[in-house]
Chains A and B, each alone.
Chain A
Amino acid sequence: MEKFVYIALFAPLVSSLFAALFGMSPRKTFVGVIASLLLATSFLASAILAAFVYQTGGAIHVTMMEWIGAGDLMIPFGFIVDQVSVTMMTVVTLVSTVVHIYSIGYMDHDKSFNRFFSYLSAFVFSMMVLVMSDNFAGLFIGWEGVGVCSWLLIGFWYHKPDVSPEENPSISPSWAANEAFIVNRIADLGMLIGIFILYWNTGSLQYDVVFAAIPHLSHGILFAAAIALFIGAMGKSAQFPLHTWLTDAMEGPTPVSALIHAATMVTAGVFLVIRANPLYMVTPEVSYFIASLGTFVAFFAASMALVNRDLKRIIAFSTLSQLGYMFAAAGLGAYWIALFHLAAHAFFKALLFLGAGNVMHAMHDELDIFKMGGLKKSMKWTYIYMGVASLALAGIPPLAGFFSKDAIIETAFNEGTLILWIILVVTAGMTAFYSFRQVFLTFEGDERYKAFGIHPHEMYKFVLIAMSPLAILAVIAGFFQGTFHTFIIELLPNYEMSEHTHHYVLLLGAIVLAFAVGGIVLAWVMYGKGLKRNEKLENSFVYKLLKNQYYIPQFYAEFISKPYAMISTMMWKSVDMKIIDTTVDGIANLFYSGGDKTRKMQTGNLSSYLNWMGIGLFVLLFIAAISTVIG
């Protein structure tokens, strides 16, 4: 089985390097094809591994080679394929494969076609390293690797100029890329600290060693480690307050958004919490904090999605919101539910994004849903895909989202955290509303795009076919909940609803469903017949607050970026050049000007020289006389 591990892991790398070979040549379709094939290979290998793990119930643990060894630290390139990682691997490779194929069509006209595949495959490789690694350092490799790939891919259209935030909140792809990278770095520092804490207290970074040592550690240390690691997770999964980068990351090509900023990378944080569940199990206060933050973000993001006009940003907010759900589950101890939602979400969210990509492709990169409408005629399949995905997202049975999200909400109820439950339920309603607001505004109603002279057309056939696995999975994934449950709890702690909850399960489901359906209906009422703008509403404070993302980006710009730049300039111009350097030069000049002054004693006049001798003699005599008197 080891060779499948390596195939699964390295096929994307090979794909990336292969594409990189043609990175600077003009578009070559076969690059995309081969990359997709390699990704498919990786998916197959992952599937085989999944089957193997499912059958045997055991894990495959390989150590490729030693990486860093210094002092007592020993970090290998070790990979573990167990229930959790194999789930992730399968999801990642599946979505990746679809996205690769999709990209062949989507990036059709882009002159950096080959480069795109190189980056995309590199991302998959990093993600695989992230999920497969058997130690924290290896996780960190993947963690940073996906960060860089995300940077590359967000900034893929680097040649676009910077514009003002009013025109485009993300300013430019390169700006958004940098923002994403830097914000993630902030979180990575937390993660590093967490790693250090674990190393100095357990002497290793291997998951098994670390987790085995946890019972022997003091609570304070565990608390610190849990917090630090979670800070890392917050960055990657864009949790408040580090969330701003995710919406800006929509500057990247849409397949990228689908793969990285919806299905895989952003879930790494959740993955980390799930992976480190032994740690979080013993730190309930941290877990509770995670759950609360997750719930908050779920609501917070959903609220921003309500009013947004940007097709991709709406989906991005929804991703944020769903990540919140996952954290809520993980924080409440329902790790397997979190993982399940992660997987299900990956499918329907990727589908949603790819659908959005189709729309963009058709609309010549127009993203404002207020300028769309009535696309269902020309883009039937896309409408279906996006509808299905939105239904799944809204949690309408029997689609995947219903099962997973409902389980999370149930968990919140089960844990007795009623406030969380209420918020999550409300959020579910909001989710349904904004999803369908978007769908209706895009596909229903009058054809507003005509005013802009756009002639939309459906995506290539093969692309639509490639998307179908996701659509199918979005529909049916929910039915595998039970299987998944038995499979995953071999590794993860089991989480069952209590009797009490079982009692109310139908009621709870109904409430959630009611909210979801209510959201959809509301959306239909408001936007089903076309765009009716409500000036009063749009000018209200809340609307503006939401539209401006609670003014958080502006806050960051005004109170962090600008002061940072200002202080930096001040430090350079005032401190470094004025104070420090001037002091140094001043000391040198002191001697130089001292020389200029003292050379004046050298008048050239013999008389003054003789004077100096006389003075010298006198001073010496005087001091001699004084010192004899004193001494």
Chain B
Amino acid sequence: MIGLNHYLILSGLLFAIGLVGVVRRKNLLMLFFATEVMLNAANIAFAATSHYYGDLTGQMFAFFIVAVAASEVAVGLGLLIVLYKKHGSLDLDGLSTMKG
């Protein structure tokens, strides 16, 4: 039988994948993809828990996470656009004028 733990472990693995992406990516757009992965990993955990407990709260949370993800994309892309206009690139290595 597939238990809750299966789903949670899957969720954990996806989260780690997302994390690797976030940590590794230098292109900001692709970095944002990775954050989506992380949020979706949590979604799976919520949906699974919701299923196993027969409780709807998890689905609610997942629902809001989707909403948040969508909003973040909007703002994030807005930021990327201004940035791109100024820098002409999305490489985050270029974003290191402030340090120390």
Contacts and interface: CB of A to CB of B under 8 A. Distances in A.
A603 B96 contact: yes
Interface string A583-602: 00000000000000001101
Contacts of A610: 22-23
Contacts of B92: 605-607
B6 interface: no
Give the size category of A's interface with B: 10 to 19
A603 B100 CA distance: 6
Interface string B62-93: 00000000000000000000000000000011
B97 A604 contact: yes
Does more than half of chain A's interface fall in helix, strand or loop, or is it mixed? helix
B23 A604 contact: no
Nearest to B97: A604
Contacts of A600: 100
Does more than half of chain B's interface fall in helix, strand or loop, or is it mixed? loop
Contacts of A605: 92-93, 95-96, 99
B99 A602 contact: yes
B93 A607 contact: yes
A241 interface: no
A603 B23 CA distance: 15
A611 interface: yes
B50 to A, nearest CB: 25
A614 B98 CA distance: 21
Nearest to A615: B23
Nearest to B96: A604
Contacts of A611: 23
B19 interface: yes
Interface string B17-41: 0010011111000000000000000
Contacts of B95: 604-606
B11 to A, nearest CB: 15
A610 B93 CA distance: 13
Contacts of A604: 95-100
Interface in A529-587: none
Closest 8 CB pairs of A and B: A604-B99, A604-B96, A606-B92, A605-B96, A614-B23, A599-B100, A610-B23, A604-B98
Given A603-B99, A607-B23, 19 more contacts: A602-B100, A603-B96, A604-B95, A604-B98, A604-B99, A605-B93, A605-B96, A605-B99, A606-B95, A606-B96, A607-B24, A607-B25, A607-B26, A607-B92, A610-B23, A611-B23, A614-B19, A614-B22, A614-B23
Interface of A: 599-600, 602-607, 610-611, 614, 617
12 contacts: A599-B100, A602-B99, A603-B96, A604-B95, A604-B99, A605-B92, A605-B93, A607-B92, A610-B22, A610-B23, A611-B23, A617-B19
